[in-house]
Amino acid sequence: MEKPRVLVTGADGFVGRHLVRHLAMRGYRVIAASRATFTFDNPNIAAVSLPDISRLFDWQPLLSQCDTVVHLAGVAHKYADDSLYDHVNHRATSALAQAISRGATKHLVFVSSIAAQSGSYADHELTEDDFPTPHNAYGRSKFAAEQAIRAAGISFTILRPVVIYGDGEKGNFAVIHRLSRLPIPLPFGSLTAQRSVLSIQNFSSAVELALNNPRAKRETFIVSDPEPVTVADLIARYRVGAGRSPWLIPVPESWIGVALKATGQIAIWERIGRPLVAPPTKLLAIGWEPS
């Protein structure tokens, strides 16, 4: 059976590059859309230009080439004001959903974020049934995009991944791995806060499931590796994998928290010293098999 043609927007980013290659290796014909010039050495991948999505444009020429859409393009991991987040993450997604609603039936997989549901930490295990409480402009723009998709009356799946790690990662994981490479002991041995994380391989397999499983339609899913970790776990794994000692000093958590808050780094403390556990229970229940 011939697999569908998949349009992937934002194909030149860390997540997009991995996803495009994953789908192509699985036999999908992929239209990789990005603003930057990017080439893929695979006959199943056709690279195409993506217009500036912060401005209105006609989605139909791109939609005419595909059967399904995975919408990744957006603003993240950089400074942006509320207006830019809203235009790129919310309004452009709404325009895409409306364009899909006016044409032949196509399934849209929208890659949202756990930030659409929660702040950087939570005092309970998150589930899709929790009332969304985004704490920043990025999260609010993603949640607004989700609402626009639901209102468009199209076939969709919404994915809310937690922080993603893998080759080429950005954001918090890149910082942790830079710290792990330092040839010095690190004072994080006592950090016990559990954090849900997601490998890029598991993310890609979750997208593939959303493209194929009828039970994923018109549903929203948290996406994470089944087992949460601590920052101490991450650093130790990275160093041991590089053939080194974990070299973690058990400095009391309270000392680290006080030091970071005193230096204006409370956001970092919230990401390493506070928990955020978001299990993929609902996704596992429809047959997802993470590695």
Q: How far apart are CA 282 and CA 288, in angstroms?
A: 9
CA angle 16, 140, 131 (to 5 degrees): 105
Q: Which CATH architecture has domain 5-167+197-224+279-285?
A: 3-Layer(aba) Sandwich (3.40)
In the chain, DSSP assigns E strands to 5-9, 29-34, 45-49, 68-71, 107-111, 155-161, 164-165, 198-199, 219-223
Tokens of 104: 């032949």
Q: How far apart are CA 282 and CA 285, in angstroms?
A: 5
Q: Is 264 left (phi over 0), alpha (psi -120 to 50) or beta?
A: left
What pTM does this model have?
0.93
pLDDT in tens, the chain (291 residues): 678 899 999 999 999 999 999 999 999 999 999 988 777 888 899 999 999 998 889 999 999 999 999 999 998 866 678 888 999 999 999 999 999 999 888 999 999 999 999 999 999 999 999 999 999 999 999 999 999 999 999 999 999 999 999 888 877 778 888 888 899 998 999 999 999 999 999 999 999 999 999 999 999 999 999 999 999 999 998 899 888 889 999 999 899 999 989 999 898 888 888 999 999 999 999 999 998
> SS3 of 237, please?
helix
Tokens of 5: 């043609």
Domain ranges for the chain, please list them: 5-167+197-224+279-285, 171-193+229-272
